[in-house]
Each structure stands twice: as C-alpha cells, then as structure tokens.
Chain A
Amino acid sequence: MQRLPAPVHPLAWWLWAIGMAVAASFTTNPLLLLLLIGVSCFVVVVRRGNAPWARSLRVYLALGAFIVVVRVVFRCLLGAVGTGPVLVDLPRIPLPDWAAGITLLGPVHVSDLLDGLYDGLHLAAMIICVGAANSLANPKRLLKVVPISLYDIGTVVVVAVSVFPQLAESIARVRRAQRLRPVPGGRWHLVRRMIVPVLADALDRSLLLAAAMDSRGYGRRGATSPRTRRAVAVATVIGLIAVSIGIFGVLDGQAAAVFRWPAFVFGAVLAAAGLVFSARERTVTRYRPDPFDLAAWGVSISGLAAGVLMLLATEYAPAHLSTSTDPVQWPIVDLLPLLASVVGLIAVLVSPPRAIQEQEVVA
C-alpha cells in the first residue's frame, strides 16, 4: 500500500498517549519510565509538524524535570523517613504535635533520595506522554470531536489547550524583550517581569480567539428547548464524572465496590445517552473529515497495547515493576514490561509522514 502524506486522526494520537501514560502509571521502575519517556519523545520528534503547538514538547520536558526536582527536594527535606545508609545527616527540627506526620530536615537516607526520584519520574513520565499528544495532534482539531452539549466546557478546554503552546512562544518573546532592561534588585522582580507580560498576552489571545469563534457561529444550537438541553448537558457531565470515578476506583484497588465497575458502567451509559441525544440535535457538518483509517487504528492500538501489556505485567511479571530502594538495587527489566515500554514505537511505523511538513518544504 502506498502511504500518502496525511494527518493522522487526532483522537488516535490521544489514545496512543493515554495508553502510554497508563503504562507509565503502573510502574516506578526508573529504566522503564525513562524508556517510556524516550519512546514518546522519539515519536514526537519524528512525526510532529512544524506548527506552533508542535514545539511545545520542550515545555513538557521542562515541567517533568521540575516535578522530579521538587519531588526529590520535598522528600529529602520534609519527609525523610527512610531506612538504610545515611547520605547526609541534617539536624532534625522538632515540630509541635499538631504537625505530626511532617518531619523537617533530619538524616537523609539513600532510600529517600531514590524514592523521591522514582516517584517524580513516575509523574513526569505520565505528563510527558500526555504532552506528546499535545505536540502531535492539533488540539484545535479535537474540537471537532467535542459534542455540542459540552459546548461551554469544550470551549474552555480548547482555549486552555491552545493557549499553552502559545505561552511557550510568548515566554521566548518576553524573555528576549526583558533582556533589554537592566535587572533591578530583588528576586520578586525577576518573577514578575516574566509572569505579568506573559499572562496578559495569554489572556488577550484567549479572548480574541473566543470572540472569533463566537462570531463564526461556534456552538449554535438546534430547535431543542433550553431546559431539555440543560438536562442533557448535566446528565452527560455527571456521566463523565462517574466514568472518571469508576476508572479511578478500578485502578485504585482499595475503593468501595460501588465506586468501581458499577460507577464506570453507570457513567458510561449516562454519558453515551447524553452524547447520542446531543449528536442528533447537532447542526454542525464536517468538511473533509480525517478518516479514522488504518493508520489511526495502528497508532491508537500501539499506544493502548503499551497500557494493556503493562497491565498484564502487573498480573504476570510484577516482580520488578517497582524497584527496591532499601537495600539499593540496580533496576531489573523483565521481558513483558520491556515490550510494553517499546510497543509505542510501532506508531512511527504505521503513521504516514505529516502532510503539512511536506508542503512547507516545497514552500
């Protein structure tokens, strides 16, 4: 089959990323987490276009690094309760009784450092996986998948998502401009001189985008009465919340039975009913929609496979999904989790090159 350059359905990239993030959520083994991060970054670098949102990966990587650092620092300085060899022996500062559970300073063990590191990496990997989706799939195209009964929420989400990468651009611009002004004393100035212009810029842009969308007819409604519409919207939102609770319950393993599968099924039915109803009153048509074609299936399956394989690993090869920090051990990688971490690479093989990129080379 000849593969024509074409964009992959945005939902496919999101499913892929969610699969990768789920895989990351099941393990704290640093090698597996680094592998997952590496795979996400590789896919982004190979398959992203050069539109503004595609450049946001660096921001997510920076956010991930920040999380790791914060996690390690907090763990070592505020919650050092580990055992094993001591790395630095800081004096413990006694806290009053009402602050029980918090320890300030005290001896820092190797296990504290590693626990913080692994925990931070765990969270960072999930964020970078989702960030990868944001760089690969145009968030604005996701708008087309948003049902009209979720109009207001959809607008908020889309404006927020599309502002984030633009934020990266305006940060670069403001930083360049601020270099023209001498640095006054005080650390407060350093923070303010970046934050104030960037936020003002982001706010202005969001308002302009929302006004433009409104003037072009986004969110027009059919003939349904406002009351029915509101009821359907509420039902859909409750349904989605129930689905979230259900997923959380299933993953948590300690939640009450009601909050597990029953909540999930109830929510799914309610949300589906709401979406079907609103889809029927929807007056929007689609211009040359991205087909959910073979490539899209391939991309989503390769990501979801990562999640599923890692889930299977928790069942069949759970031994080294988390790495012991006391005694300190070099992390070991089993075959099944290894497969789960790299299966996401298939996305590169099955997805065609970006259409937009090709044309820009010509232009």
Chain B
Amino acid sequence: MIELTDVSVRYDDSRPPELREVNLAVEEGELALVVGRTGAGKSTLLGTINGLVPHFTGGRLSGRVIVNGLDTRDHPPREMAEVVGRVGQDPVAGFVADTVEEELAYGMEQLGVPPATMRKRVEETLDLLGVAELRGRSLATLSGGQQQRVAIGAALVTSPSVLVLDEPTSALDPGAAEEVLAAITRLVHDLGTTVVMAEHRLERAVQYADSVIVLPGDGVVRSGDPATMMIDSPVAPPVVELGRLCSWSPLPLSVRDARRAARPLRSRLGMPGTRTRPAGDTTLTARGVLVRYGDRVAVRGIDLDLAAGTVTALMGRNGSGKSSLLWALQGSGVRTAGSVVVDRVDTATSDPPGPVALVPQTAADLLYLETVSEECEVAGPAARDLLDRLAPGIPDEQNPRDLSEGQRLSLVLAIQLAADPKVLLLDEPTRGLDYLAKQRLTEQLDLLARNGCAVLVATHDVEFVAGSADRVVVLADGDVIADGPTAEVVASSPIFAPQVAKVLAPTPFLTVGDVAAAVGSLA
C-alpha cells in the first residue's frame, strides 16, 4: 500500500538529513505506529506519504514514495488527497469550514463528488465516528475529543485507502484520547483502512498496532513486529519498561498481557517504599476562589492549601476549570471572589514577578528575544545558572524558537524561577514532550520541591502524575471532587490509574521506578 524506497530528506544542506535512505513498506489494512523521540523525523516521515514533504515544506527528497500506485514525485498533495487522508496534531488549525457538516463535506467538494453522494457519505461518516448529534454545531464550540473525531471524519469521508495521523491525541485529556483511539481502531477493523500514526502516548496506542516503525534518531528508520521493535525502542510505555525490567518474553504490550505475566511478581513484591520528600509549611492558602466569565462559572469557590516542598497535580477533563484556577491563584487572572494569600499578602495585589510564578500552556508566549542569553539576561542574573541546572548544554546564541519543546519549557521555567518564587504553577507542561523529556521535567520539579518550592501542575498525563506528584486534586465542573495522596486518588480511579498500578493491583505501585526499587531491595 505504502512503499518508500531509498528515501532521504534534507531541508538544509548544512544540516544532517532528516531521513536517511529509508526503505519501508506498510501493507494494506495495517495500523502502523511511528515511534521516536521529538525531532527524530516522525512528522517528516508522515509528510512524505502524501507529498507534503517536499511539495509543501520545501527541502530535497531523493528516492521514491509510492502510495496505492501513485508516486508523490508526480502528484502534489492535492492530487494525493484521493488516496491519503491526513489529520494533524491540532485539529483546530486544520479546520476550513465552520460547522461539523460542512467540514466533513469540504474534502469531497474539492474532489468533485456529486452532491447526492456527498449528502449520503456525510451522514454515514457522522454515524461512523459517533458525532451525528453534533452535525450543525460550530467547530469552535466542540470539546477537544469531538474536534479531533470530526477532523478524522473529514479525512475519512472521501474514503481514502490510507489515513495518516500525526499525534492525534497529544492535546486531549485521557477520556477524549480513549475516544479517539477507539474510533481509529474501529476504522482499521471495519473499513480495512491503512493507518499510519505517530503518537507520544504509547501506553494507549501500542497495543493496537500491527507494526511499529521506530526512528531512533540520525534519520534511520526500522520497522517490524511491535513486540520485537519495543525491546530496544528509544521510547517505551511503562508496561514495556516493566516488561524489560522483569525480562518478560514475549514483551507484553497491553495491561492485560502484562497482568498475566506479572502473576509471580505480584506475589513476590511487598509494599512500595515511600518516596521521601518531606512536606514543609503551608505556603499558599486559597479560600473560596470563584471564577466566572459572564454566566459561566469556571471555578466554584475552591479552598486549597499548597505546602512548601510538595508537588501537587491538578487533574480533570478539558474545560473543568484547571487553567482558570491556576490563573486565579497566580493573581493576574480573573478572580470573582475569594482570597489567595502567600506570606500574608494577597497575590492579586503584587506586581510581577510576584511570589507565584506561572508557566502558561503555550510557554512560547513568554519568549520574544532572539537568543537564549538575551532572554536570560532580561529575566535576571539567576536565570542562566538555573537553566544550566535544569537543562545543561543549551547554547547561548540559540534562538528560543528553534529549541525543542522540552528545552523551551526549561528556558521558560528558568525565566520564571529567576525571581525566586515561593509557588510554581504549570499549565499542561507535558504537551508535546516525549518520555525522556517528561522524565527530565519530573526530575526538575523534584529539585524545585526539595529546595522548598510549592509546585502545582495541571495535567492530563496520568503516567507523569504517577511519577512526580505527592498529592492529586481532581476537578470536575469547577469543584474539587477528590483530593489526597497520589497513590490513593489515582489508583482507585479507572481513568486516572497509571499502567503499572493496573498491572500490579492490588499492590499500590505506581511507577516502574517504584517497582525497580522494590525488586532491587528483594535481590
């Protein structure tokens, strides 16, 4: 179905090639998962399949890419549209129409499908993806999961034989991600569509894959059976890490397989050792925080205390009020009622940089200078040292916009920490980070907490929470519905439980690190 022969891609002669002599074949009806670190060339590889690379992006491609008999050399993306449907990371950025129905029809209009057929296929696609009740809604008012399902529907409605998905769940909460992945697997099963998908959250996707394409870096590409490829893949979900740790063979890819393999381990393991991070005094005291925008109440009178030296995770659906709460705590956002006190001073009255630092969802919004050193200079004398401690080896003269997601996050962290805040708030920091970058962030937050900072992280990422937080607060519809130690809150929830907890239940282990420590102490 998809055949790449000796494909090399180079955007700039002065830089190493993005892809180097790639030979790859994806069979019809296969779900192929593209795995690799950020910047390893996943998006480039996906782009070659419908000709966006190099027709749209520029650069030089040598070799041949043939999809369903069409060579991308002779067919630009708009002509490949009949064969290849593509869904990007941010569904909103790719929407052309304004209502669900029109968005679905758009691709068919371009291909000149007769109106009667169009009407019928739009209805079928609405049903297939379970979005029929949304048909007349404006795209801007949909939730993230609904938007992404509409985007998939829009790519699918022309019945292409290949569907290319570039990190379709990276912006979604766990429930919505589940929704989208379920829709994708259904397509593979029912329609026989060939799917090529890049995904950061392997814990959800790898069990459904028929083959895995690994990009270890340096432009090389390897592909094969998932269980074999995951043995030495540079990124791996916790369940695979656990399998590697215990040298299970074959390597389990799903929680179900791992549970069966883990039977002897469960009986052998005792209780996990407690993580040692002593909580300090209460730094931030919030009472009755209420945020409303017109008629909509985003946060309904929340009380919250944050203690020095702790990392607290703030979880909940998209739109449950996490961001509003963070901005209200910081002091510069809307706060309709209530008080937030740090050091006996209300945060709303302090000028920036106040005692509460916040890293916003789009961290790049804070950056505006041409080089890393300029940014650090403006932020204060401590910034550069902090950056070197958080992420060593970022050159001074680098443009902040050319940094990787993880490096950019570290830079913004360093800038915000330069004023020595008592409390640090982070809004969705793990978006676009791969496992290693998340590990790095976990270590950074641990370092900050040990230095006496109170950290609050709003995130969807269950595995990240399991590895880094002492305490979890769950919001729903503006209210706190759960608040307690990570192990208690997370392990008892069907949606928020991390993979290791599911595998080893009822023993309350959360991360592979905990298991490794326990196994080490056994041996």
For the complex, is A197 an interface residue (Cβ under 8 Å from B)?
Answer: yes
Instruction: Report the Cα distance A230→B360, complex, angstroms.
Output: 48
Shortest CB distance B342–A (Å): 15
For the complex, is B510 an interface residue (Cβ under 8 Å from A)?
Answer: no
For the complex, is A96 an interface residue (Cβ under 8 Å from B)?
Answer: no
Write out, one digit per residue, whether chain B residues 44-62 have a CB within 8 A of any chain A CB (1) or not (0). Answer: 0000001010011000000
**Are B366 and A216 in contact, with the CB atoms below 8 A?**
no
Asked if A287 meets B107 with Cβ closer than 8 Å, knowing A180-B360, A220-B81, the reply is: no
**In the complex, what residues of A have CB within 8 A of residue B85's CB?**
215-216
For the complex, is A363 an interface residue (Cβ under 8 Å from B)?
Answer: yes
**In the complex, what residues of A have CB within 8 A of residue B110's CB?**
216-220, 284
B154: which of A179, A200, A216, A355 is its contact (CB, 8 Å)? Answer: A216
**Are A215 and B77 in contact, with the CB atoms below 8 A?**
yes
Asked if A212 meets B96 with Cβ closer than 8 Å, knowing A180-B360, A181-B352, A220-B111, the reply is: yes
For the complex, is A196 an interface residue (Cβ under 8 Å from B)?
Answer: yes
Shortest CB distance A8–B (Å): 14
**Are B352 and A211 in contact, with the CB atoms below 8 A?**
no
**In the complex, what residues of B have CB within 8 A of residue A184's CB?**
378
**In the complex, what residues of A have CB within 8 A of residue B352's CB?**
179-183
**In the complex, what residues of B have CB within 8 A of residue A3's CB?**
none
Shortest CB distance B381–A (Å): 13
For the complex, is B485 an interface residue (Cβ under 8 Å from A)?
Answer: no
Shortest CB distance B280–A (Å): 24
Interface size grouping (class) on chain B:
35 or more
**In the complex, what residues of A have CB within 8 A of residue B277's CB?**
none
Instruction: Report the Cα distance A181→B332, complex, angstroms.
Output: 11
Instruction: Report the Cα distance A355→B111, complex, angstroms.
Output: 27
Instruction: Report the Cα distance A285→B78, complex, angstroms.
Output: 16
Interface size grouping (class) on chain A:
35 or more
Q: Which of the 9-residue segments B11-19, B134-142, B259-267, B513-521 touches chain A?
A: B134-142
Instruction: Report the Cα distance A138→B401, complex, angstroms.
Output: 32
Instruction: Report the Cα distance A177→B122, complex, angstroms.
Output: 40
For the complex, is A359 an interface residue (Cβ under 8 Å from B)?
Answer: yes
Asked if A363 meets B137 with Cβ closer than 8 Å, knowing A209-B94, A211-B56, A356-B98, the reply is: yes
Shortest CB distance B241–A (Å): 33
Write out, one digit per residue, whether chain B residues 371-413 have a CB within 8 A of any chain A CB (1) or not (0). Answer: 0000000110000000000000000000001000000000000
A174: which of B137, B365, B416 is its contact (CB, 8 Å)? Answer: B365
B109: which of A195, A209, A287, A360 is its contact (CB, 8 Å)? Answer: A287
Instruction: Report the Cα distance A183→B378, complex, angstroms.
Output: 9
For the complex, is A283 an interface residue (Cβ under 8 Å from B)?
Answer: yes
**Are B112 and A285 in contact, with the CB atoms below 8 A?**
yes
Shortest CB distance B314–A (Å): 18
Asked if A216 meets B56 with Cβ closer than 8 Å, knowing A140-B97, A180-B330, A363-B137, the reply is: no
Instruction: Report the Cα distance A355→B93, complex, angstroms.
Output: 23
**Are A286 and B52 in contact, with the CB atoms below 8 A?**
no
For the complex, is B99 an interface residue (Cβ under 8 Å from A)?
Answer: yes
Asked if A192 meets B111 with Cβ closer than 8 Å, knowing A176-B360, A200-B401, the reply is: no
Instruction: Report the Cα distance A189→B375, complex, angstroms.
Output: 11
Shortest CB distance B41–A (Å): 17
Shortest CB distance A232–B (Å): 19
**Are B353 and A181 in contact, with the CB atoms below 8 A?**
yes
**Are B77 and A140 in contact, with the CB atoms below 8 A?**
no
- In chain A between 210 and 238, which residues have their CB closer than 8 angstroms to a CB of chain B? 210-220
**In the complex, what residues of A have CB within 8 A of residue B112's CB?**
220, 283-285
**In the complex, what residues of B have CB within 8 A of residue A94's CB?**
none
Asked if A212 meets B140 with Cβ closer than 8 Å, knowing A173-B362, A182-B353, the reply is: no
**In the complex, what residues of A have CB within 8 A of residue B452's CB?**
none
**In the complex, what residues of A have CB within 8 A of residue B242's CB?**
none
A212: which of B88, B366, B367 is its contact (CB, 8 Å)? Answer: B88
Instruction: Report the Cα distance A157→B230, complex, angstroms.
Output: 47
**Are A180 and B94 in contact, with the CB atoms below 8 A?**
no
Residue of A nearest to B86 (CB): A215
Write out, one digit per residue, whether chain B residues 86-106 have a CB within 8 A of any chain A CB (1) or not (0). Answer: 101010011111110110011
For the complex, is A70 an interface residue (Cβ under 8 Å from B)?
Answer: no
**Are A178 and B365 in contact, with the CB atoms below 8 A?**
yes
Shortest CB distance B72–A (Å): 12
Instruction: Report the Cα distance A179→B112, complex, angstroms.
Output: 49
Write out, one digit per residue, whether chain A residues 159-184 have a CB within 8 A of any chain B CB (1) or not (0). Answer: 00000000000000110111111111
Residue of A nearest to B364 (CB): A197
Instruction: Report the Cα distance A309→B513, complex, angstroms.
Output: 79
**In the complex, what residues of B have CB within 8 A of residue A58's CB?**
none
**Are B138 and A217 in contact, with the CB atoms below 8 A?**
no
- In chain A between 254 and 286, which residues have their CB closer than 8 angstroms to a CB of chain B? 283-286
**Are B96 and A209 in contact, with the CB atoms below 8 A?**
yes
**Are B109 and A286 in contact, with the CB atoms below 8 A?**
yes
Instruction: Report the Cα distance A64→B449, complex, angstroms.
Output: 50
Asked if A285 meets B364 with Cβ closer than 8 Å, knowing A182-B351, A359-B138, the reply is: no
Instruction: Report the Cα distance A355→B99, complex, angstroms.
Output: 11
**Are A208 and B365 in contact, with the CB atoms below 8 A?**
no
**Are A176 and B81 in contact, with the CB atoms below 8 A?**
no
**In the complex, what residues of A have CB within 8 A of residue B505's CB?**
none
A285: which of B97, B118, B136, B358 is its contact (CB, 8 Å)? Answer: B118
**Are A214 and B56 in contact, with the CB atoms below 8 A?**
yes
**In the complex, what residues of A have CB within 8 A of residue B141's CB?**
360, 363
**In the complex, what residues of B have CB within 8 A of residue A200's CB?**
364, 401
**In the complex, what residues of B have CB within 8 A of residue A131's CB?**
none
Asked if A197 meets B115 with Cβ closer than 8 Å, knowing A180-B330, A181-B352, A216-B107, the reply is: no
**Are B113 and A212 in contact, with the CB atoms below 8 A?**
no
**In the complex, what residues of A have CB within 8 A of residue B332's CB?**
176, 179-180
**In the complex, what residues of A have CB within 8 A of residue B106's CB?**
216, 287
Write out, one digit per residue, whether chain A residues 115-143 have a CB within 8 A of any chain B CB (1) or not (0). Answer: 00000000000000000000000101101
Instruction: Report the Cα distance A285→B111, complex, angstroms.
Output: 8
Instruction: Report the Cα distance A50→B139, complex, angstroms.
Output: 11
Instruction: Report the Cα distance A118→B50, complex, angstroms.
Output: 55
Asked if A286 meets B115 with Cβ closer than 8 Å, knowing A180-B366, A215-B50, A359-B137, the reply is: yes
Residue of A nearest to B359 (CB): A180
Residue of A nearest to B133 (CB): A363
For the complex, is A85 an interface residue (Cβ under 8 Å from B)?
Answer: no
Give 14 pairs: A residue, B residue, CB < 8 Å, sorted on A.
A52-B140, A176-B327, A177-B366, A179-B332, A181-B366, A193-B368, A200-B401, A208-B90, A215-B80, A220-B81, A220-B110, A287-B119, A360-B141, A363-B137
Rank and list the top 6 A-B pairs by shortest CB-CB distance, nearest first: A212-B94, A217-B81, A287-B105, A217-B110, A177-B365, A208-B93
Please give 11 more A-B residue pairs, beta carbons under 8 A apart, in addition to A197-B366, A211-B52, A285-B109.
A50-B138, A180-B416, A182-B419, A189-B378, A208-B90, A215-B52, A216-B85, A218-B96, A218-B110, A287-B102, A288-B101
B residues adjacent to A (C-beta < 8 A): 50, 52, 55-56, 76-82, 84-86, 88, 90, 93-99, 101-102, 105-115, 118-119, 122, 136-138, 140-141, 154-155, 158, 327, 330, 332-333, 351-353, 357-358, 360, 362, 364-369, 378-379, 401, 415-416, 419
